[in-house]
Structure 1
Amino acid sequence: MRLRFSIFLLPIFLLTACEQSKTYKIREQQITMEGVVYKIEDELKLLADEIRELAKFNEFLLEKQDSLKPYQDPDRYQITGFFASEPLDSASDKSSVILLNTSDNRAAALNEILVTNGLDSAFTKLYEKYDLIEQIYSNSKHQLSRVYPAYDVMNIVDPNLDVTQFNFYYQADEINNPSKGPVWIPDPYVDPAGRGWILSLVHPVYHEGELYSVLGIDLTVNNIIQGFLDQEKGDYIIVNKQGDIVAGKAAAIEALSMPPLRNHVYLETINSDNFRISDYNLYNSKSREVRKMGQTLLMAQEGHFLFKEESYLKDAVCWPFLSIEWFLIRINDNNQ
């Protein structure tokens, strides 16, 4: 009787042991992924600390503008039309300064140029310190923009823009950012100059209790992210909350029924003329189950998805970022 009872329970014991093994493997992968996310966010935290200090300096320039007047250079910029024309010289310490037609106080904006000229040296030092910085800028309530390095303002900028209506401004206001600290803009964009995905970090500047301007840093994140992913065993992608693939290994991207990659390299694909972000989105995959995976991991925010229809895929494990709405996903095939 004892022998029969043991034989009867053996399949249950084996099944339980198998499930425990699967759970252990998933948790083991999540621990590794948590470490990768931590390393990436640690790098991004350095920039958050930098923009925090930059905002303090900007507020100092505004607060002490009267006592600093002897050190201000009224001839540094001459506004012609809506911009100050400067040579596009990467070695220059001058920014592009744009006074938009939407300004309701041109005199205040012109005074702001004079008062905040000290930002140029701070922008230059910060830009030279980090290779991943694409540009540094300030946009104010007076519709004044200061951007470093200088660029072809006349042929690119619409002088009738209202900077306060863009997410790089309003995401930092008191409604969206009551803590008044650094904010990562959740939606990256593709750099037209071919440096891959650009991520924006912004920080409000307050003067006399009111939002005066917003500082911003645009970062090329592909090198920093791809470097960490390439160091790890396994097939990984990083996606934003909309399901767009921000970075990833070719094997992982190609396994998800996405369009073919150019030379099997995602960065080359991003920089190609016919690249469309929507083509490399989990919700636009040709595979119904991959689309379901996106819903499970991103919308329901579950940490694991088991493939049942895709014969070559086993499961996907997910770990979220804390400082930005991104997700690291590991794709496991049946050989892993």
Structure 2
Amino acid sequence: MKNYLILFFLGLGVSSCGFLSEEAYQAEFSELEEIVDRLEDQGALMSQSLDSIAHLYEHQIANYDSLLVYADYDKYLIEGPFSTATPGSDSTKSSIIVLNTTSDRERALQEVAATNFLDEHFSDFVRKNDLVAQVYSNSALQVSRVYPCYDHKNIVDPNIDVTQFNFYYAANEINNPSKGLVWIPDAYVDPAGRGWIVSLVHPIYKEDSLFAVLGVDFTVDDVIYNYLQDFEGEYLLVNAKGDIVAGKAGAIENISMPPLKNHVYRETVKSENFRVSDFNLFQSRSKEVRQMAQDFLLKKSQVFEFQEEKNLKAALCYPFQEIDWYMIQIIPNS
């Protein structure tokens, strides 16, 4: 990325810009780069860990008949769609749902027992990765296994079809023919009740058929709290559509977005009335902010200087390499 920055400044001619000096731009871009690097480094570690579990998962189910023979059918008690394990009752267990949409409940219950080996690996994964909200497997037979255990009986509708959610179909044969890891760049509401999240998923194949999708979730709240709050300045993390995946309150207020619940974005994204369309750069009340979004996301510019917004000086944009996201710094007038 360092070479990218050098080439950027050579080609941009920032000394001709009227608001910030070339040195000031370089300093701000260096901080943007650090934020992006930290997030991408964390993502790379998560990817490697999830990939390891995926390979183990596929190796195990390649011998599915043996798994059934030696499976512990008594580990989980399933009452209706739900396992009886509750949060805090047993840290070694996941929450299991055999959804009502399964095509074969008996086979699904067998699958629960055959895949109990995942619990140990899920627990280890969460223990080693502080930012992980949950790790899970959702199968073609509509078996959902989520760790750590959560209040699934009161949160999840047992009549959903898990294959219709993006954390499943983004990894299927049509959308992921390479059969590898896939980042889901759009934040969405977690059916398990953990608010707005982003996901990394990996398909699991048994022979030539999609057996399940393995996934890990990160909450928007954690992205804000653990990364953006460590840096001075006002930052926005947006996807290619202009949706604000995460952001500091000051940045969001400065670009004429809707009022924030309790003036804090991380509280707003937990609220039931939050709509991602409300927090899209192209929906800003400011014509210049909408133009900034077009320049950054469509024209791939990296600097935007405000002319009409009295409270804003400039904005800088830095792209991610592994996911179609952008880190934007909003620079207000002092």
TM-score by length of 2: 0.84
Q: After superposing the two structures, state which structure 1 stretch, 125-134 or 193-202, moved more.
A: 193-202
User: How do 1:150-165 residues align onto structure 2 when only pairs under 5 Å count?
Assistant: 150-165=149-164
Partner of 1:7: none
Task: Decide whether aligned partners of structure 1 residues 23 and 190 sit closer, same or farther in structure 2, where only a CA change above 3 A counts.
Answer: farther
Partner of 1:166: 165
Task: Decide whether aligned partners of structure 1 residues 269 and 65 sit closer, same or farther in structure 2, where only a CA change above 3 A counts.
Answer: closer
Matches of 2:77 and 2:149, distance apart in 1: 15
Matches of 1:271 and 1:243, distance apart in 2: 20
Task: Decide whether aligned partners of structure 1 residues 69 and 212 sit closer, same or farther in structure 2, where only a CA change above 3 A counts.
Answer: closer
Partner of 1:57: 56
Unaligned runs of 5+ in 2: 1-12
Aligned pair count reads 321
Q: Counterpart of 2:101 in structure 1: which amino acid?
A: T
Unaligned runs of 5+ in 1: 1-14
Task: Decide whether aligned partners of structure 1 residues 287 and 192 sit closer, same or farther in structure 2, where only a CA change above 3 A counts.
Answer: farther
Partner of 1:137: 136
Matches of 2:15 and 2:79, distance apart in 1: 76
- 2:86, 2:95 within 8 Å by CA — same for their partners in 1? no
Partner of 2:267: 268
Matches of 1:68 and 1:279, distance apart in 2: 48
Q: Counterpart of 1:30 in structure 2: which amino acid?
A: F
Shift of 1:220: 2.3
Between structure 1 and structure 2, the one with the greater Rg is 1
Q: After superposing the two structures, state which structure 1 stretch, 173-182 or 257-266, moved more.
A: 257-266
Q: Secondary structure at the match of 1:185?
A: strand
Task: Decide whether aligned partners of structure 1 residues 38 and 289 sit closer, same or farther in structure 2, where only a CA change above 3 A counts.
Answer: same
Partner of 2:215: 216
The reply on whether 1:319 has 2:318 as its aligned counterpart is: yes
Q: Counterpart of 2:163 in structure 1: which amino acid?
A: T
User: How do 1:175-190 residues align onto structure 2 when only pairs under 5 Å count?
Assistant: 175-189=174-188
Q: Secondary structure at the match of 1:89?
A: coil
- 2:186, 2:245 within 8 Å by CA — same for their partners in 1? no
User: How do 1:25-174 residues align onto structure 2 when only pairs under 5 Å count?
Assistant: 25-26=24-25, 28-68=27-67, 71-89=70-88, 91-174=90-173
Q: Counterpart of 2:243 in structure 1: which amino acid?
A: D
Shift of 1:226: 4.1
Q: Secondary structure at the match of 1:161?
A: coil
Shift of 1:215: 0.8
Matches of 1:43 and 1:85, distance apart in 2: 34
How large is the RMSD of aligned CA atoms in angstroms?
2.9
Shift of 1:168: 0.9
Partner of 1:280: 279
